[in-house]
Structure 1
């Protein structure tokens, strides 16, 4: 195996041989930066789900290459789809008013990535078009796509919730122009993984740690001038170092609690006004197809799982206690 190809190894799917363009992209700084961004946000401080945005990107690329081996544009789009993510991924994006899709476009148009694409006769703007329209990567019309399929597989694998490795299921899964299509039994299993992942990352505790991280960053910004566009390009470790030495005592308290004393984090069901309000954020409620139609049109079990998913909700408060 070529030394460069080893960069494409990960545990969930069969090995796919990258082409020269894909190797050059994976060696670029915007792609390498993803190795230093936690896919699970601040949840990586307090859970076993510690894989990076890089492993997720490889997973999306592998699935895309498996189902569409000759579609070079789609394979490249899979590699580029997450390069605009902030430190700790989604954990701070909404609170700090960023849009990682816009940042992804910026990275694609900048010289390092665009010059690689143009060297292989791929128009950078075409990549942006693919990423901005519904596709098999995102899934169309409420159907599960490749991007979220990998997220649900990878999160539940890392959390020890998965019973069957994805590589042993792929022969039962295909990808249509709308998204993932499978048999009823496998479809139910995928929906159970989706529900399990949501119950984990949308639990009050996981939402709370993301909120505390975002608040730590906001407190730091309030006393120390920060260029937001430069912040968006940092890695997790740089942000942690910045917060641990912040002029804001409260910012330092929050980050040190997350790293060293998460046992002091408490969730109040009633908002007392003494902490930070938290509530369920976005639910990813796309479903697989069965014989070309949403699984929920065929199965009461699928409908019940989706109802349980949509019923996940809370309005609570997170506080830090002294022990």
Structure 2
């Protein structure tokens, strides 16, 4: 066989070149439908390639993969485990289009809510979906969980969205785990929930626990807190999310660097993130110059074994403690250092 006649292996591209997508994490090769190829050439989907899945912590860790990489991973899992449901496949590719820059980092600021923005962006693609025989209302219902699918959220149970997130994050952070392709061979779906054997469930439980610990870590809280503080200052009081939600990560950082109110602090954060620190929040009002990062609920789920979720070996608290993020030269930082 000559070089000119040798078959060309699929590429791990994000544009659907040649009608295939090879996922470098799972090893899946997905034959893309005409609709999926068309969606990969729309701005709502392309923009996800410029939004870090990890959010602000992508600036201080090696977890730098994009929302588009994750969305293509979820599409590959749906295609591999759940076949040819065109609506669910489209929803897999579109499930994150509502995210603002830096993903979850800015949620709640000036009304930013990807659960509101996402359906609106999907509906704006209604003509394209309809031209390929897919009803946009079905896609929106799939994303909300109103329509049964492999993407329907189940509280406390691993879905394909969780699965890709846990494993992709574990690879980025160097956590020990079996090769993802081997792990995938042990997985099936039961009513849209990941099902496996006891050994596979234990692997997923360890990865889920590691992801929870990562989200609670001081490094994650620090990056989130600093960026939220800078964005609040840039937007000013009473602002709406309009100038922000459609940006890419790079556009947001560029805007923060340009603005005289945030430029120096943004440059300092990018240069020396540890100029800030994280301390436990105290009762009462938040001091000036301090960003409160609410702990919120745990991002915690389990796979099914024989129809039942693998039980937790250690109870997981419902909520995480609130934290303050502040400059190390802030008076509160010195007070916190003196606390027992």
Q: Unaligned 5+ residue runs, structure 1? A: 297-302
Select the residue among 125, 136, 139 that pairs with 1:127.
139
> Matches of 1:320 and 1:138 in 2, distance apart?
41
> Which residue is equivalent to 1:17?
31
**Does the CA contact (< 8 Å) of 1:92 and 1:211 recur in 2?**
no
Relative distance call for 1:5 and 1:258 in structure 2 (3 A) is farther
**Does the CA contact (< 8 Å) of 1:38 and 1:53 recur in 2?**
yes
> Which residue is equivalent to 2:328?
321
Select the residue among 135, 145, 153 that pairs with 2:159.
145
Larger radius of gyration: 2
**Does the CA contact (< 8 Å) of 2:144 and 2:152 recur in 1?**
no
Q: Unaligned 5+ residue runs, structure 2? A: 1-9, 331-340
Select the residue among 293, 307, 313 that pairs with 1:304.
313
* Superposition pairs of residues 1-323 of structure 1, within 5 angstroms: 1=10, 4-5=17-18, 8-13=21-26, 14-110=28-124, 113-133=125-145, 135-222=149-236, 228-248=241-261, 251-269=262-280, 271=282, 273=287, 275-296=290-311, 303-305=312-314, 307=315, 309-310=316-317, 313-321=320-328
Structure of greater relative contact order (alpha carbons < 8 Å, 6+ residues apart): 1
The CA deviation at 1:237 is 0.5
> Matches of 2:169 and 2:21 in 1, distance apart?
19
Secondary structure in 2 aligned to 1:161? coil
Give the structure with the higher percent helix: 1
> Matches of 1:263 and 1:243 in 2, distance apart?
19
**Does the CA contact (< 8 Å) of 1:26 and 1:32 recur in 2?**
yes
Relative distance call for 1:314 and 1:257 in structure 2 (3 A) is farther
TM-score by length of 2: 0.84
**Does the CA contact (< 8 Å) of 2:159 and 2:193 recur in 1?**
yes
> Matches of 2:303 and 2:23 in 1, distance apart?
24
What count of residue pairs does the alignment treat as equivalent?
310
* Deviation string, structure 1 residues 82-110 (Cα, Å, up to 9, x no partner): 11110000011124432112111111121
The CA deviation at 1:178 is 4.0
